[in-house]
Amino acid sequence: MDLERNLLAELMGQFAVCGPQVIERPELSQQEDTSQDQGWIVRVFNNDHNTWDEVIHILMLATHCTPDEAAIETWEIDKLGSSVVHHGREDECRQAGAIIATIGIHLEVVQE
């Protein structure tokens, strides 16, 4: 217990010696904050007229994903009713959505 008190007193003494200081505000970078740009998604909804092969193929074309990823997303679309098939900047998501929509799939491009 005495050891803890001694350590605490020593630490408090260090802070007391330091006293108040002026803290300089860091300069903000002139670079754009792109974190908001990455917060968009493409969600694809199930339908009764596209085949699994069509959906897998268009997802690979639109999002440049692997066949395995496209197959998993197609399964989610079919079994869960929808799937988020792409995350990225707004322009990327809108472009991917436009490609996917060419085969008549209902989708949405929204901010997360």
| pLDDT for position 34 | 52
CATH at residue 81 = 3.30.1390.10
CB atoms within 10 A of CB 85: 28
Confidence of residue 52 (pLDDT cuts 50, 70, 90): very high
| pLDDT for position 43 | 98
Which residue in 94, 80, 99 sits closest to 42, CA to CA? Answer: 94
Who has greater pLDDT, 6 or 95? Answer: 95
Report if residue 3 sits inside a domain: no
Half-sphere exposure of 31 (CA within 13 A, CB side): 4
Question: Residue 41 in contact with residue 93, Cβ under 8 Å?
Answer: yes
Mean pLDDT (the chain, rounded): 84
Q: Give the residue-averaged pLDDT of 47-67.
A: 97
Instruction: Assign 76 to helix, strand or coil.
Output: helix
Query: What are the beta bridge partners of residue 109?
Result: 42
Confidence of residue 45 (pLDDT cuts 50, 70, 90): very high
| pLDDT for position 25 | 63
Report if residue 69 sits inside a domain: yes
Single-letter code of the amino acid located at 2:
D
| Structural domain harbouring 92 | 37-112
